[in-house]
A and B are shown apart, each in its own frame.
Chain A
Amino acid sequence: MANNFREKDWLTLDNAAKIYPATSTRRSPPVFRLTAILHSPIKLWKLQEALERLIPRFPYFQVYLHRGFFWYYLQRHQEIPEIKPMQHVGLSDLPIRRKTAHLLEISVRENKISVDFSHVLTDGKGGFRFLTSLIAEYLRNLGNKIKPHENILIPEQVPQPDEFIDAHRFFFKSGMPKPPKLNPAFHLKDKQLYHRKFRIITGCISTEKFISLTRQKGATITEFLTALYIYSLSEVYQDYIRNNIKPGSSIIRLEVPVDMRKIYPSVTMRNFSLYVSPEIDLKLGHYSFTDILKKVHHSLGMQLDDKELNRQISRNVSAELNPIIRIIPLFIKDLYLSRLYSRLGERIYSGVLSNLGKINLPDTMVDEIEDWGFIVHPNHVMKKSCSVISYGDRMKITISSVIKKREFERKFFKKLRTEGIPVHIEEE
């Protein structure tokens, strides 16, 4: 694939990315933002120099989306992505359908560097490695010595062929049974904010205190937060019942991305995440937080299994390799894929919880970086999404929302507080 890109200047979309161009809208672009906050103001020209040196190391990111007859593909971009002034609120919508538009956007303000990535390009891990490498190169440009690290790619290295591969296809095993079909899930009901506007509330907590709480409860951080998310949604559901608002479905199900690189030995820089789907059905009765945590713990334990996750890979890649699907023209595929996304994505999930985990950097970088941020663009059907990142003793839980009401956020952080974790709220 690397040779393919060097010789032919284009790349096929990876299996996970194939669905995004068809389903991307200005209201719900498949975009996430990673932000690093440094201790001192950004020296713009040094950052520009660092970017110019680094971008050839990431050729799979210097691309734009192009329509083929059967599939979209990534065409090599001749230009280096521009550094833009950071907007005060929100993420870029990364207009992936606009000709020659980059699929990542770098913006700066004061001491912050943000990169908005389209999911067509990569997932959280790939994005994180890019931003970390950019900051490392910038700091090196300022005269700092940065130790080699697994998350830092340097311009002197040649891009490895394994970084280009579509790992879904690489680890695909045919003949697997499909994952079970899921019924539509509960969704929050409220008028959406004006076009392209969304609210972001970030709760900052102590990582150490939170880890000690989760250990005490016998759960992981992701399990605890997932349970908290489901619990808060179940509280909103009960409010709807009390206020005679029809809630639609009684199933609360979350989409929790799993970094497959932790399961398979892959260094791909493109998408390689799948989902686990913990759920509760409120028609079965009332669930306390402890009940939900227990259910989520066992559910994630069952689903975080390579064989179970292989079923998803098998379903997704089999569909891509199906000869009939392959020869269907793209404009028909677009219609089919948008329906598929609705059926397998937004309709069956009540929300998304994406935990990027603990930031791991060399000491010389830790001294220069004050904080990190992570925002996932909310989907207009699920209304809210939750993204989590932790750095040092600070964990940031960001809830982005396309609706005005904040009862979910209030319940979420209130419950966290009642569990004994002090929360500091920041709002953009």
Chain B
Amino acid sequence: MPICKNCGVELKDGTKICPLCGMSLNGSSPQKGTLDLKSSEKEIPGSPNLSHWIWELFTFLMIAGFIVVFMVDFAFGMSISWSKIPLVSIAYLWLTVTLAVKIEKKIYLLIMIEFLILLIFLWLLEMFIAGSSWFHEFALPFLILSGIILELTLVIVYGLKLKSLTILSICFISLGIFLLGLEAVLNRFLQNRIFVSWSLVACACLIPISGFILYLKSQLKKRGKELEKYFHT
């Protein structure tokens, strides 16, 4: 069995570097690093892929529904008329769920694509409903605003690895900004001019609440969760 020249301890056969001091057994100098004698990482057995199975069932139902609606519409008039909206809705629903299942780990990308699909879906709806002009005036700016605020909130929450009350605090700030934007978009759509009034009050309330939540969190971190051991007398 090999013996470390530095520590004098016996090591397992095949060991090249002493895990205690980092000295190479062929005599080179100790390597920096911490002792790692722990057993190799255990593999976590994978859970059964239930979500994939549900997605397959969902896909089957959606395809069946799509075909039935299409066939019924087509069979009666040999053209597509009323079924446009349900067909687009089914396609939108399937795409949304599929993306959520397939790219669930890339949350930022998922949200961006979901918003894009929603925009296309709403644009198609506006086209299929004759005489309506709400998409460019309201839906588009509203969805862009919502998407940007949601993305930014998630970047902050995940990027800074925030937890519980801090997330709530960030959500309150995001909500305040969202309300400002929402009122501006609404006023532009309804009154054809951009201004804010009630959302300023809401924002002025939400931001101090957010600050209070952060303060509460700092206090609870110190004294709430660990209350008993921290305050034991």
Identify the A interface with B (CB < 8 A). 8, 10, 12, 41-45, 48, 52, 66, 68-71, 73, 75, 80, 82-86, 108-111, 326-327
Looking at the complex, which one of A41, A66, A70, A83 makes contact with B8 (CB distance below 8 Å)? A41
Please count the residue pairs between chain A and chain B whose beta carbons lie under 8 angstroms apart in the complex.
71
Closest 10 CB pairs of A and B: A110-B8, A326-B233, A48-B37, A44-B9, A43-B10, A10-B229, A42-B9, A85-B21, A70-B233, A41-B10
Q: How far is the CB of A57 from chain B (nearest CB, A)?
A: 18
Which residues of A sit under 8 angstroms from B20, Cβ to Cβ? 44, 83-85, 108
Does B11 count as interface, using CB distance less than 8 angstroms? yes
The answer on a CB contact under 8 Å between B37 and A68 is no
Q: Which residue of B lies closest to A86 (CB)?
A: B7
Does B76 count as interface, using CB distance less than 8 angstroms? no
Instruction: Report if A83-B35 is in contact (Cβ < 8 Å); known contacts: A108-B7, A110-B8, A110-B9.
Output: yes
Does B12 count as interface, using CB distance less than 8 angstroms? yes
The answer on a CB contact under 8 Å between B232 and A70 is yes
The answer on a CB contact under 8 Å between A68 and B19 is no
Does B96 count as interface, using CB distance less than 8 angstroms? no
Q: A68-B231, A83-B37 are in contact. List 16 more A-B contacts (CB 8 A).
A: A42-B9, A42-B10, A43-B1, A43-B9, A43-B10, A44-B7, A44-B10, A45-B12, A48-B37, A70-B231, A82-B35, A84-B20, A86-B7, A108-B9, A110-B8, A110-B9
Q: How large is the interface on B (under 10, 10 to 19, 20 to 34, 35 or more residues)?
A: 20 to 34
30 A-B residue contacts at CB 8 Å?
Answer: A41-B3, A41-B8, A41-B9, A42-B9, A43-B1, A43-B9, A44-B10, A44-B20, A45-B11, A45-B19, A68-B231, A68-B232, A69-B223, A69-B231, A70-B231, A70-B232, A71-B233, A73-B229, A75-B229, A80-B38, A82-B35, A83-B20, A85-B21, A86-B7, A108-B7, A108-B9, A109-B7, A109-B9, A111-B8, A327-B233
Which residues of B sit under 8 angstroms from A44, Cβ to Cβ? 4, 7, 9-11, 18-20, 37
Q: Which residue of B lies closest to A43 (CB)?
A: B10
Which residues of A sit under 8 angstroms from B229, Cβ to Cβ? 8, 10, 66, 68, 73, 75
The answer on a CB contact under 8 Å between B8 and A68 is no
Q: How far is the CB of B50 from chain A (nearest CB, A)?
A: 31
Q: Which residue of B lies closest to A40 (CB)?
A: B10
How many Å lie between the Cα of A48 and that of B10 in the bound state? 12
How many Å lie between the Cα of A273 and that of B38 in the bound state? 36
Looking at the complex, which one of A66, A70, A73, A85 makes contact with B7 (CB distance below 8 Å)? A85
- Interface of A, helix, strand, loop or mixed by DSSP: mixed
Does B6 count as interface, using CB distance less than 8 angstroms? yes
How many Å lie between the Cα of A84 and that of B20 in the bound state? 6
Q: How far is the CB of B57 from chain A (nearest CB, A)?
A: 41
Contact with A along B195-233 (1 / 0, CB 8 A): 000000000000000000000000000010000111111
Within 8 A of A (CB), among B41-92: none
Q: How far is the CB of B51 from chain A (nearest CB, A)?
A: 31
Q: Which residue of A lies closest to B18 (CB)?
A: A44
How many Å lie between the Cα of A143 and that of B232 in the bound state? 46
Q: Which residue of B lies closest to A10 (CB)?
A: B229
Which residues of A sit under 8 angstroms from B39, Cβ to Cβ? 52
Q: How far is the CB of B111 from chain A (nearest CB, A)?
A: 35
Which residues of B sit under 8 angstroms from A8, Cβ to Cβ? 228-229
Q: How far is the CB of A339 from chain B (nearest CB, A)?
A: 21
Which residues of B sit under 8 angstroms from A42, Cβ to Cβ? 9-10
Which residues of B sit under 8 angstroms from A111, Cβ to Cβ? 8
Which residues of A sit under 8 angstroms from B37, Cβ to Cβ? 44-45, 48, 83
